[in-house]
């Protein structure tokens, strides 16, 4: 039985049909066309007979009483005293929480963060704690807007704290409010938010959407600065993380763990709260997206036709607004609190319970239909760099053991890949795309020649701090996220993308999947094995 | 002899304007330009000789004339009818190959003593371009008396002629005149300049980039080029531009290179700082406005492309204390800038050879296909071309 399985106090789940696990389908002549996400749209594609399709598991049952589960987690933490025992009058309490990049899509209210933070604040109030700060731990991501903060923490918390300046976004460029805590044995500087570091207790509220989330990464990354991040957000780390979703083979994980130990040894006391959720990703009328095609009902088929017909008549902006308004029905499957490593072990097991799908053997070609959203374009535009990152960074790395595609194989992505950027959110991405990628797509060269000048650019700093811009260095990280895949695969083809944008990424454009498969044969030879990754909902391939 | 002649005709001007508005260069057919048989022009004065053009280029100012979009400023300083063509390499009767320096200054006009500008070697600034024994005309190609390069023969004063070294091809030689114009612009870049932005990558823009990379004297550290078309961007980089972007990306590129702050929430409305010098080789309202918005306070905007009548907000010129400087024709370059105080044409010969600018001649046409030639020149960038020229070497009349 996995560590997540014991009946934890308050963890009774909603009864219902047991969810079916993920599985691998072999395409035969009777297999209906397969759904491919394609940005703000979908495609039905016929995969060659003999291809494999990896389907995610069905959604795990959710907690019957999430608030009670949270309360129980706070009262019965792992490896630490109950939270009330750690709260006392006059103490400095800081509550940090994950930013707008989690979960995806955003969840229906109340957000998990709101539930957890309200519970923590209730206990703090009972203990007479009145020095409380709430910080959105966004590292080098863009600041959250008021609406986004309200969605995450709820109106009650927002109205009680934000007007008094006690609820705010972490600022990784505010030198006065950062502190260098120490260095790891490898010389990695650990610099984090000063308020968090100097608090008597830092409570970190996580939403663990994938196995990379949480653990020491929460504080060591979420509340840190470029000075710290550059030690693990780099090409070498990403190429040595196979994959960064597998903590036992992730250099990214190892670096964050080393930094976490520096924080712990320096006396930064963290009460970690990690939450997991099921993969119930799409609400009606888009719920057909998470069904297996041969199980589509007449209503599902009508919904698909209606959705695609309607979307075809919409402008890009209208489609984007429609999709970005989606609030997912996913909900909590677990909550664990206490000492970071003990908590994270349980959480990871719970994430795997939802996401792991056993797959035997790699494929010559892996196809992916990329959806409209990634962690970095919430309420924004999925620009070409984010398309690359979602496909080659996130989806490619959703594996344990071996990548789904063999070394030297081909990844085929399906996405419109428009040459379009959100100027407010992604100003440095524009320059990265137009200047850096026009020069070279080699991550090592890019890191060596361009990173520092973008990271230290005063205009990007200004926009990051005062507007809603991702940090100047952020597009580099997106490209580094692709570094393992770029090193591993022989070619990348994008179906249905803007050819000019696709070429700028260094990839090959194809107008149809059939064309892409033919082009791929140049790299992998005739009669290749093909695996389609049927996501989202997200899953993680356990490849043996 | 056969010549393309531009006549004064208001209905044809109107027709050219309409046709040119529909598609650039289309004013050639309905407009005042005609392929005609005329007498060989002769100027009955000392020092005048016959030049038989070998190649004669088509310039942006020619296209503006053909489409009737050029400024009325020129009306009193040209004389009709005239034979266009001021970018000329040709033969003298004794077989000497020459490049024409087309400005009709005091020496050509028989004015003695010559004006102070001509005396200073700045023939482009001549004070007497409408006086003397010639009809008005700022250059050969705009003067009724001299003829022009788009013909079998023209008349030129010996002060206008520069022998062509044997090593220089006709294609390279026909690039000398436009290259000299570009050098004139590059020569306005003060010593100690760090960043220069060049807007436009047609003939003038590309030659300007080459000048900023090859001229003697102190050159800028970084040259940023804005080029509309892919082939132009390739050439701009090949000629030495450090950063090459599409026009829409120019402000971002200048900001990145200079480390400027920018006004605008992620989009760039204008730069707080910017390039030290911007050389506008287009001359449109948009390019001038762009130049004013990307040039650092106290910096300089140089107009190399012929601007015409434009509607531009000059507030930035005032508020940022910018210098707006024209660069026309040729003379002698300043001693402390690129060019090292040498005559522009001399520098142009060297630069054409050093940067292999003869490669910019993309296509040539006989006079009879003048409409095609002009259409090609008007759409050169889009069609992957740079300089279009008339090739007169095989004209039957010339070889009689």
Test the B interface: residue of A435, A465, A466 with most B CBs within 10 Å: A435
- Which pLDDT does position A7 carry in this prediction? 61
Mean pLDDT to the nearest integer, A358-384: 97
Mean pLDDT to the nearest integer, A335-349: 97
- Which pLDDT does position B306 carry in this prediction? 87
- Which pLDDT does position A6 carry in this prediction? 53
pLDDT-based confidence at residue A272 (cuts at 50, 70, 90): very high
Give the model confidence (pLDDT) of A420-461 as tens digits.
999 999 999 999 999 999 999 999 999 999 999 999 999 999
B contacts of A426 (beta carbons < 8 Å) = 266
CA–CA separation, A140 and A120 (whole Å): 26
Per the structure block, which two tokens stand in for A347? 């959480």
Comparing CB atoms, the residue among B256, B259, B264 nearest residue A431 is B256
A contacts of B230 (beta carbons < 8 Å) = none
Specify the DSSP element, H or E, that contains A77.
none
Q: How far is A471 from chain B (nearest CA, A)?
A: 12
- Which pLDDT does position A2 carry in this prediction? 43
Rounded to two decimals, the ipTM of the complex is: 0.85
Specify the DSSP element, H or E, that contains A219.
helix A217-222
pLDDT-based confidence at residue A1 (cuts at 50, 70, 90): very low
A contacts of B261 (beta carbons < 8 Å) = 458-459, 462
Mean pLDDT to the nearest integer, A59-79: 96
Helix (H, G, I), strand (E, B) or coil at A33: coil
Residues constituting chain B: 400
Give the model confidence (pLDDT) of A160-197 as tens digits.
999 999 999 999 999 999 999 999 999 999 999 999 99
Q: Where are the beta strands (DSSP E) in A349-490?
A: 356-359, 363-369, 399-400, 405-414
For residue A147, pLDDT beyond 90: yes
Q: Which of A20-24, A394-398, B14-18, B313-317 has the lowest mean pLDDT?
A: B14-18
Test the B interface: residue of A142, A422, A427 with most B CBs within 10 Å: A427
- Which pLDDT does position B339 carry in this prediction? 84
- Which pLDDT does position B336 carry in this prediction? 82
- Which pLDDT does position B345 carry in this prediction? 96
C-beta of residue B126 within 8 angstroms of C-beta of residue B103: yes
The alpha helices in chain B, defined as continuous H runs, are: 10-22, 60-66, 106-109, 116-119, 170-174, 176-186, 203-214, 230-238, 250-258, 285-294, 315-319, 344-354, 370-378
For residue B27, pLDDT beyond 80: yes
Q: Cβ A463–B243 below 8 Å, yes or no?
A: no
Mean pLDDT to the nearest integer, A472-484: 98
Q: Cβ B266–A427 below 8 Å, yes or no?
A: yes
pTM of the model: 0.90
For residue A341, pLDDT beyond 80: yes
Tokens 């249905």 belong to: A496
- Which pLDDT does position A4 carry in this prediction? 45
Asked if B249 has any chain A CB less than 8 Å from its own CB, the reply is: yes
Asked if B260 has any chain A CB less than 8 Å from its own CB, the reply is: yes
Over chain B, what is the mean pLDDT? 94
Asked if B95 has any chain A CB less than 8 Å from its own CB, the reply is: no
C-beta of residue B208 within 8 angstroms of C-beta of residue B282: no
Comparing CB atoms, the residue among A423, A434, A467 nearest residue B245 is A434
């Amino acid at each position: 039985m996995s560590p997540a399985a014991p009946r934890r106090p308050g963890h009774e789940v909603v009864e219902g049909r047991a969810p079916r696990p993920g599985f691998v389908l072999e395409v035969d002549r009777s297999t209906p066309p397969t759904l491919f996400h394609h940005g703000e749209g979908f495609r039905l594609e016929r995969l060659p007979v003999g291809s494999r399709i990896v389907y995610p598991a069905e959604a795990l049952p959710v907690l019957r009483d999430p608030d009670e589960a949270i309360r129980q987690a706070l009262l019965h933490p792992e490896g630490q005293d109950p939270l009330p025992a750690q709260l006392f009058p006059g103490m400095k309490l800081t509550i940090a929480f994950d930013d707008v990049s989690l979960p995806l899509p955003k969840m229906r209210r109340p957000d998990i963060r709101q539930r957890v933070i309200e519970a923590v604040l209730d206990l703090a109030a009972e203990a007479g704690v009145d020095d409380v700060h709430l910080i959105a731990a966004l590292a080098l991501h863009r600041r959250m807007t008021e609406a986004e903060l309200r969605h995450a923490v709820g109106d009650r918390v927002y109205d009680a704290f934000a007007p008094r300046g006690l609820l705010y976004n972490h600022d990784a460029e505010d030198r006065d409010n950062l502190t260098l805590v120490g260095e790891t044995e490898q010389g990695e500087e650990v610099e984090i938010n000063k308020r968090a570091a100097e608090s008597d207790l830092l409570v970190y509220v996580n939403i663990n959407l994938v196995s990379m989330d949480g653990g020491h990464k929460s504080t060591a990354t979420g509340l840190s600065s470029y000075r710290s991040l550059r030690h693990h957000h780099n090409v070498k780390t990403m190429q040595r993380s196979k994959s960064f979703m597998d903590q036992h083979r992730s250099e990214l994980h190892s670096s964050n763990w080393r930094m976490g130990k520096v924080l712990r040894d320096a006396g930064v006391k963290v009460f970690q709260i990690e939450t997991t959720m099921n993969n119930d990703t799409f609400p009606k009328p888009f719920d057909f997206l998470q069904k297996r095609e041969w199980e589509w009902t007449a209503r599902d088929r009508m919904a698909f036709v209606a959705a695609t017909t309607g979307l075809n008549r919409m402008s890009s902006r209208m489609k984007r607004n429609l999709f970005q308004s989606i609030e997912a029905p996913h909900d909590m499957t677990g909550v664990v609190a206490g000492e970071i490593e003990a908590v994270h072990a349980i959480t990871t097991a719970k994430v795997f319970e939802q996401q792991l799908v056993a797959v035997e053997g790699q494929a010559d070609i892996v196809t992916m239909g990329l959806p409209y959203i990634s962690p970095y374009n919430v309420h924004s535009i999925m620009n070409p760099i984010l398309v690359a990152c979602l496909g080659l960074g996130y989806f490619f790395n959703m594996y344990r053991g071996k990548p789904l595609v063999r070394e030297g194989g081909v990844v085929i992505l399906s996405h419109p890949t428009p040459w379009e950027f959100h100027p407010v959110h992604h100003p440095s991405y524009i320059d990265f795309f137009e200047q850096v990628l026009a020069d070279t797509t080699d991550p090592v060269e890019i890191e060596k020649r361009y990173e520092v000048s973008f990271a230290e650019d005063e205009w990007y700093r200004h926009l990051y701090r005062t507007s809603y811009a991702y940090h100047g260095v952020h597009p580099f990280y997106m490209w580094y996220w692709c570094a393992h895949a770029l090193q591993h695969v022989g070619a990348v083809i994008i179906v249905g993308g803007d050819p000019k944008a696709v070429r700028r990424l260094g990839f090959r454009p194809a107008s149809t999947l059939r064309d892409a498969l033919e082009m791929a044969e140049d790299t992998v030879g005739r009669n290749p094995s093909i695996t389609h990754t049927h996501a989202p909902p997200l899953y993680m391939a356990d490849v043996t | 002899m056969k010549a393309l002649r531009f006549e004064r005709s208001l209905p044809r001007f109107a027709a050219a304007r309409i046709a040119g508005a529909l598609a650039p260069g289309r004013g050639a057919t309905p407009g005042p330009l005609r392929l005609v048989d005329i007498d060989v022009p002769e100027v009955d004065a000392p020092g005048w000789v016959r030049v038989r053009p070998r190649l004669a280029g088509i310039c942006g100012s020619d296209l503006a004339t053909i489409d009737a979009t050029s400024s009325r400023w020129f009306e009193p300083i040209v004389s009709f009818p005239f034979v266009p063509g001021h970018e000329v390499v040709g033969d003298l009767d004794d077989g000497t190959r020459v490049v024409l320096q087309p400005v009709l200054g005091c020496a050509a006009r028989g004015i003695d003593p010559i004006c102070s500008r001509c005396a200073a070697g700045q023939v482009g600034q001549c004070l007497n371009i409408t006086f003397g024994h010639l009809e008005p005309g700022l250059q050969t190609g705009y003067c009724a008396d001299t003829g022009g390069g788009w013909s079998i023969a023209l008349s030129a004063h010996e002060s206008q002629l520069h022998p062509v070294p044997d090593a220089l091809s006709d294609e390279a030689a026909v690039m000398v005149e436009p290259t000299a114009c570009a050098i004139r612009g590059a020569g306005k870049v003060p010593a100690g300049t760090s960043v220069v932005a060049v807007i436009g990558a047609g003939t003038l823009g590309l030659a300007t980039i080459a000048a900023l990379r090859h001229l003697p004297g102190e050159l800028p550290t970084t040259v940023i080029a804005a080029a509309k078309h892919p082939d132009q961007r390739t050439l701009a980089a090949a000629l030495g531009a450090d950063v090459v972007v599409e026009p829409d990306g120019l402000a971002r590129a200048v900001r990145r290179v200079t480390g400027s702050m920018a006004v605008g929430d992620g989009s760039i409305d204008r730069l707080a700082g910017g390039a030290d010098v911007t050389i506008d080789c287009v001359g449109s309202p948009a390019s001038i406005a762009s130049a004013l918005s990307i040039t650092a306070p106290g910096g300089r905007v140089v107009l190399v492309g012929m601007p015409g009548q434009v509607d531009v907000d000059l507030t930035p010129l005032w508020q940022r204390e910018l210098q707006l400087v024209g660069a026309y024709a040729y003379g002698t370059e300043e001693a402390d800038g690129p060019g090292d105080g040498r005559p522009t044409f001399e520098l142009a010969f060297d630069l054409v050879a050093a940067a292999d600018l003869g490669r910019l001649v993309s296509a040539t046409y006989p006079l009879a296909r003048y409409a095609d030639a002009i259409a090609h020149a008007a759409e050169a960038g889009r069609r992957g071309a740079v300089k279009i020229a008339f090739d007169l070497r095989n004209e039957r009349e010339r070889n009689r």
